[in-house]
Structure 1
Amino acid sequence: MPGFRLLCSDVVRLYRDHYWVAVITWLPCVLLNSMQHGKQAIVVDIAFAALTLLGQALLSAYGSCLEQRMSKQDGSTWTVQVNGSDVGAISDAEMAAFRRRAVFSVDTYLRQIANIVMGGVRLLYWLARYIPIFIFWCLICGLIVDASGTQALLKDVVVAAMGEPGRVAALTADGLRIAASIALFLLFGFPWAFGIRNEFRAEWERAISERLRLYRSGRVALHRDAEGHTVVFANEGRILHEYLRDRRGVNRSTVGGTR
């Protein structure tokens, strides 16, 4: 029960402080709802709405974690690397401020949506351009390896398509499903090939470049020297996990004390 109250308070905090960010995170749920019909839509909408609220709670908790790091005055710094070379250093509070600005900026969400849409357009162009070429060369290879078998297969496909009135529509639907499966595999497996990038990371990398006045492009990495001269790279997931664990512990002790 305390965990549920904590989740609800995080959701309320996100809607109070970053209303439009909270609204934009419902777009996938609305898109999925438009694709469903009948009773199935109700079940899918409830499940996706619950996942959306959970994601919004984690987003708000991440913002609280960043605010806590911004309020620290311990003076800890991160060394900035670009393409493996050290180019400067920034404080942990500055880094938290850059990340918070990227995560809770509506412009970042809009740029990410536009980037994904443009990536989908490039993917459709790629499929329309290369799938016919792929089919052509498959037929050529089939004719070279087994000419009679390939000809018989083509004849069966043509006869099946022309035999029944709805057969062409069924074959077209099967082809579209196969093309959609290939598109999803390429989109999630090789997003960089179609220009899809993480706009949130790009935003705080741009902020770091402006802060340090960097004039070189490349992937930005953060690290600091720990005990024993070991290099520890920034891990936002680990930091957020530790923050949530500490906050749950504080919440349990508070509830136990009130009892």
Structure 2
Amino acid sequence: MASLDGKHALVTGGGRGIGAACAKALLAQGARVTIAGRDRAGLERTAESLRAASAPDRVAIVAVDVSDEAAVHEAFREAALLSGAIDILVNNAGQALSAPFMKTSAAHWRQMLDVNLTGAFHCTQAALPGMLEAGWGRIVNVASTAGMTGYRYVSAYVAAKHGVVGLTRALALEVAAKGVTVNAVCPGFTETDMVQQAVAAIMQKTGRSEDEARAELAAGNPQRRLVQAEEVANAVAWLCLPESAAMNGQAIAVAGGEVM
């Protein structure tokens, strides 16, 4: 019997990258999984792949923009009808845009906070009541090493991810005695579409080759490589296990030693 048999996990940003890897890792532990995101076609493709691999009857999808509070609550009600009460929430949906601070517009600032921080707030408010009623739950926020340190030219993103870590710690204390844990994983630069976009931006702005741009991003990792999505997903899945109940309020860097 797998550790998460009978549990229902909802993963935002689940159509690709870290989110899709998290869904796969949670399925391997026996959970039913709902992947959520804005791109329904992308969700369908990922769901088809997950079902074909091992879980034909344990994967559902809901389309939602996490920055829209009403849409989040409606999508979470739909997910509960499809697969049961939500026991595990992985707040993975995110977006990164870069700009020097003095060229960061108010709209850019709001977008980074809406998607990366307020989205996690909306999703957590939608899922937490059921967890408290059940007396068991796991919330894992996918933050970033940007939530633990600073980076140039992404001040809005860094501020949002610091907010995610702060939210994690504050909520973890509120629910500590109620059977629910709240933790964050903080990946370094990870082999995803988001990093590929960063590589393209470096190439465009500096004239460097793709290999040089990728090496620049990997240089902050003492292992001199990009993190793999599966490595982040394994940390997320571990935090969701019943055996990880003592892990609460933690921000765990998955970054090869970049942040200690």
- The reply to whether TM is greater than 0.5 is no
TM-score under structure 2 length normalisation: 0.27
Structure with the largest fraction of strand: 2
What TM-score comes out, normalization by structure 1 length?
0.27
